Structure 1
Amino acid sequence: MQPRKLIASIHPRLAVVVHDLAMVWLAWVVTNGLRYSLAPDPMITGWFSWEVGIVLAAQGLVLWWIGLYKGLWRFASLPDLWNIVRAGVLGALAIAVSLFLYNRLATVPRSVLVMYPALLVVCLGTPRLAYRYWKDSRLDFYQRRPSQRVLVMGAGRAAEALIRDLLRENRYRPVGFLDDNLALRGAKLHGVPVLGTLDQLPQLSSEVAAEMLLIAMPSASSAQMRRVVEMCEATNLPFRTVPRLHDVVAGRSSFNELKEVAIEDLLGRDPVTLDWTAIRTGLSGKRVLVTGGGGSIGAELCRQVARLGAQSLTVLELSEYNLYRIEQELSREYPELIFNALLGDCGDAATCERAFTQAHAQIVFHAAAYKHVPLLQEQVREAFRNNVIGTQMMAQAADRHGAESFVLISSDKAVNPTSVMGACKRVAEIFCQNFASRSKTRFITVRFGNVLDSAGSVVPLFREQIRSGGPVTVTHPEITRYFMTIPEACQLILQAAVLGHGGEIFALDMGEPIKISYLAEQMIRLTNKIPGRDIAILYTGLRPGEKLFEELFHPHENYQDTTHAKIFLAQPRSMSWELLDVQLKQAAQDVRDYNEVALHACLTRLLPEFDWRTQAPLDADIVPIVRTLKHHQ
Structure 2
Amino acid sequence: MLKFFTSNKHTPRWIVLTIDLAASVMSIVFAFLLRFNFDLTNEYFDRIWQIIILVFVTRLIVFLLTHSYAGIIRFTGTKDAIRIILVITYTNAIYIAINYSSFFFAHQKYIIPFSVILIDYFVSIFLLTGFRLFVKTVYYEANNLFKEEKRVVILGINEDAVTTKRVLTRDPKIKYKVEAFIDPYGTGKKKQLDGIKFYKLSELESVFKKSDIYELILSDKSISTLQKQKVIDLCFEYDVNVLTLPDAKDWINGELTYRQIRKINIEDLLEREPIKLDEKQIKKDILNKTILVTGAAGSIGSEIVFQLTRFQPKMIIVLDQAESPLYNLELELKEKYGFHNYEIIIGDVTNPVRMQKVFETFKPDTIYHAAAYKHVPMMENNPSEALRVNISGTKIIADTALAFNAAKFVMISTDKAVNPTNVMGASKRIAEIYIQTLQQQNKTAFVTTRFGNVLGSNGSVIPRFTQQIEEGGPVTVTHPEITRYFMNIPEACQLVLQAGALGKGGEIFIFDMGKSFKIVNLAKKMIQLSGLKLGTDINLKFTGLRPGEKLYEELLADKENTLPTVHKKIMIAKTRQYPADEVIAQTEQLISVLKNHDNFEIVGLMKQIIPEFISKNSVYETLDK
* TM-score, length basis structure 2: 0.74
Work out which of the residue numbers 419, 432, 436 in structure 2 matches 1:416: 419
Contact 1:446 1:493 in 2 (8 A): yes
CA displacement, residues 113-138 of structure 1 (integer Å, 9 cap, x when unaligned): 99998997577436633541234214
1:287 counterpart residue number: 290
Q: Tell me, what secondary structure is at the counterpart of 1:179? A: strand
1:481 counterpart residue number: 484
Paired residue type of 2:126: G
Work out which of the residue numbers 189, 192, 198 in structure 2 matches 1:187: 192
Does 11-20 or 543-552 show the bigger shift?
11-20
- Going from structure 1 to structure 2, the CA distance change for 1:542 and 1:250 (only over 3 Å counts) comes to farther
CA displacement, residues 317-337 of structure 1 (integer Å, 9 cap, x when unaligned): 2xxxxx222232133334545
Paired residue type of 2:155: G
CA distance in 1, matches of 2:242, 2:125: 41
1:560 counterpart residue number: 564
Does 580-589 or 242-251 show the bigger shift?
242-251
2:331 counterpart residue number: 332
1:440 counterpart residue number: 443
CA displacement, residues 445-465 of structure 1 (integer Å, 9 cap, x when unaligned): 111110012222222333344
1:214 counterpart residue number: 216
Work out which of the residue numbers 258, 263, 266 in structure 2 matches 1:263: 266
CA distance in 2, matches of 1:276, 1:222: 23
1:315 counterpart residue number: 319
Paired residue type of 2:150: R
2:300 counterpart residue number: 297
**What percentage of residue pairs aligned between the two structures are identical?**
27
CA distance in 1, matches of 2:514, 2:123: 58
Report how far residue 83 of structure 1 moved. Answer: 12
Paired residue type of 1:146: K
CA distance in 2, matches of 1:158, 1:458: 33
CA distance in 2, matches of 1:270, 1:315: 32
1:546 counterpart residue number: 550
| Corresponding pairs, count | 576
- 1:160 has 2:162 as partner: yes
CA distance in 2, matches of 1:275, 1:76: 46
- Going from structure 1 to structure 2, the CA distance change for 1:513 and 1:30 (only over 3 Å counts) comes to same
- Going from structure 1 to structure 2, the CA distance change for 1:469 and 1:80 (only over 3 Å counts) comes to closer
Contact 2:292 2:319 in 1 (8 A): yes
Counterparts of 1:19-418 in structure 2, within 5 Å, are 33=36, 124-125=125-126, 128-138=129-139, 140-141=141-142, 146-156=147-157, 157-175=159-177, 176-181=179-184, 182-183=186-187, 185-189=190-194, 191=195, 193-194=196-197, 196-197=199-200, 204-205=207-208, 207-210=210-213, 212-217=214-219, 219=221, 220-237=223-240, 239-245=241-247, 248=250, 256=258, 257-276=260-279, 278-280=281-283, 282-283=285-286, 285-305=288-308, 311-317=315-321, 323-335=322-334, 336-344=340-348, 346-377=349-380, 379-418=382-421
CA distance in 2, matches of 1:165, 1:363: 48
Q: Tell me, what secondary structure is at the counterpart of 2:531? A: coil
Contact 2:453 2:485 in 1 (8 A): yes
CA distance in 1, matches of 2:70, 2:252: 29
CA distance in 1, matches of 2:394, 2:440: 17
- Going from structure 1 to structure 2, the CA distance change for 1:147 and 1:121 (only over 3 Å counts) comes to farther
2:108 counterpart residue number: none
Paired residue type of 1:369: A
1:108 counterpart residue number: none
- Going from structure 1 to structure 2, the CA distance change for 1:587 and 1:73 (only over 3 Å counts) comes to closer
1:3 counterpart residue number: none
CA distance in 1, matches of 2:82, 2:401: 62
Q: Tell me, what secondary structure is at the counterpart of 1:438? A: coil
Report how far residue 411 of structure 1 moved. Answer: 0.8
Unaligned 5+ segments in structure 2 are 1-12, 60-65, 104-112, 335-339, 619-625
Paired residue type of 2:563: Y
Contact 2:190 2:198 in 1 (8 A): yes
- Going from structure 1 to structure 2, the CA distance change for 1:474 and 1:185 (only over 3 Å counts) comes to farther
- Going from structure 1 to structure 2, the CA distance change for 1:186 and 1:126 (only over 3 Å counts) comes to farther
CA distance in 1, matches of 2:431, 2:518: 29
Paired residue type of 2:345: A
CA distance in 1, matches of 2:479, 2:46: 90
CA distance in 2, matches of 1:315, 1:358: 13
Report how far residue 472 of structure 1 moved. Answer: 1.9
1:536 counterpart residue number: 540
Does 565-574 or 366-375 show the bigger shift?
565-574
Report how far residue 588 of structure 1 moved. Answer: 2.5
CA distance in 1, matches of 2:458, 2:125: 60
Contact 1:462 1:520 in 2 (8 A): yes
Report how far residue 529 of structure 1 moved. Answer: 2.6
Unaligned 5+ segments in structure 1 are 1-9, 61-66, 103-111, 318-322, 618-633
CA distance in 2, matches of 1:434, 1:474: 37
- Going from structure 1 to structure 2, the CA distance change for 1:72 and 1:397 (only over 3 Å counts) comes to same
Contact 1:178 1:198 in 2 (8 A): no
CA distance in 2, matches of 1:31, 1:247: 46
Paired residue type of 1:443: F
CA displacement, residues 510-551 of structure 1 (integer Å, 9 cap, x when unaligned): 222111121121122223333345313326257535142322
Q: Tell me, what secondary structure is at the counterpart of 2:560? A: helix
CA displacement, residues 319-365 of structure 1 (integer Å, 9 cap, x when unaligned): xxxx2222321333345454333242x23333432433444333322
Report how far residue 258 of structure 1 moved. Answer: 2.8
Paired residue type of 1:558: T
CA displacement, residues 82-112 of structure 1 (integer Å, 9 cap, x when unaligned): 9999999xx9xxx9xx99xx9xxxxxxxxx9
Paired residue type of 2:353: A
CA distance in 1, matches of 2:155, 2:120: 40
Paired residue type of 1:536: L
- Going from structure 1 to structure 2, the CA distance change for 1:583 and 1:359 (only over 3 Å counts) comes to same
CA displacement, residues 570-628 of structure 1 (integer Å, 9 cap, x when unaligned): 34543222222222232232334446556545444544xx43445369xxxxxxxxxxx
CA distance in 1, matches of 2:582, 2:287: 39
* TM-score, length basis structure 1: 0.73
Contact 1:261 1:526 in 2 (8 A): yes
2:10 counterpart residue number: none
CA distance in 2, matches of 1:559, 1:160: 47
Does 416-425 or 15-24 show the bigger shift?
15-24
